[in-house]
Amino acid sequence: MRIATWNVNSITARLPRLLAWLESTGTDVLCIQETKCSAEQFPYNELRELGYEVAVNATGRWNGVALASRVGMSDVVVGLPGGPDYEGAQEPRAVSATCGPVRLWSVYVPNGREIDHDHYAYKLRWFEALGAAVAEDTVGPRPFAVLGDFNVAPTDEDVWDTAPFEGATHVTPAERAALAALREAGLTDVVPRPLKYDRPYTYWDYRQLSFPKNKGMRIDLVYGNAPFAKAVTDAYVDREERKGKGASDHAPVVVDLDV
């Protein structure tokens, strides 16, 4: 079974590449982030033509997440149960479902913007709510994973250079502690380091030739419980999909399971 996560940075802009990628890779379940569309604008028909059922949490121009599965879909939960509001509303940042033999969450963790910004405090509250929401799924025999754009680099090795991030979000002790709390609750980072190259980044800014210079970050993660981690047979970052005209600024992260 092949499962992937991909921040597409607008599913409308990325749709031709997304459909071609799904066909060429044989992905069974894709967790999608930053759809940047409303639920009504989501390309359901195009994905259904490829055999995928879809669950979407999206409200408009920003944020938005989805799950696309060709191995069945049940027990869909749209949103983060108990999640905090930001400016009076819960942003569309989580959707979960049982796809075949596994339970999966697609998440787009808040960016945080700046350390002294309200969005940073909201980010930390969101992490707390996520930990509480997934607590029951981390135990038991069913493979379970939370996949997506976590907007946190777990360690200094997951950033091309720490100097530009001094005093900035994505690398602060509080954010990394929030990730560590998920691991301590029974989830493991199932994408090993190193892979086939020294630093398997997943995100490169569009500016200043960041991708050709490999000035990236590893912020798209797959956190699985023990049964999920045990079933992993391969994992990789598809850097090729970050290349060329019309690419997202994130690359897909792919995990193969024997389930």
Q: How far apart are CA 240 and CA 254, in angstroms?
A: 12
The verdict on whether residue 250 carries a ligand-binding annotation is yes
Radius of gyration of the chain measured on its C-alpha atoms: 17
The verdict on whether residue 149 carries a ligand-binding annotation is yes
The torsion angles phi and psi of 64, rounded to 5 degrees, stand at: 95, 135
Number of domains forming the structure of the chain: 1
The verdict on whether residue 7 carries a ligand-binding annotation is yes
User: Does 252 map to a domain?
Assistant: no
pLDDT of residue 196: 52
Residue 41 lies in domain: 2-233
pLDDT of residue 62: 86
User: Does 256 map to a domain?
Assistant: no
Active site residues: 108, 149, 250
The verdict on whether residue 214 carries a ligand-binding annotation is no
What pLDDT digit, counting tens, does each position of 223-242 carry?
999 999 999 999 999 999 99
pTM beyond 0.75: the answer is yes
Q: Which of 94, 90, 58 is nearest to 76 (CA)?
A: 94
Domain harbouring 182, CATH code: 3.60.10.10
pLDDT of residue 60: 86
CB 241 within 8 A of CB 21: yes
What pLDDT digit, counting tens, does each position of 62-110 carry?
899 999 999 999 999 999 999 999 999 999 999 999 999 999 999 999 9
The verdict on whether residue 63 carries a ligand-binding annotation is no
The verdict on whether residue 170 carries a ligand-binding annotation is no
User: Does 108 map to a domain?
Assistant: yes
Residues of the chain with pLDDT under 50: none
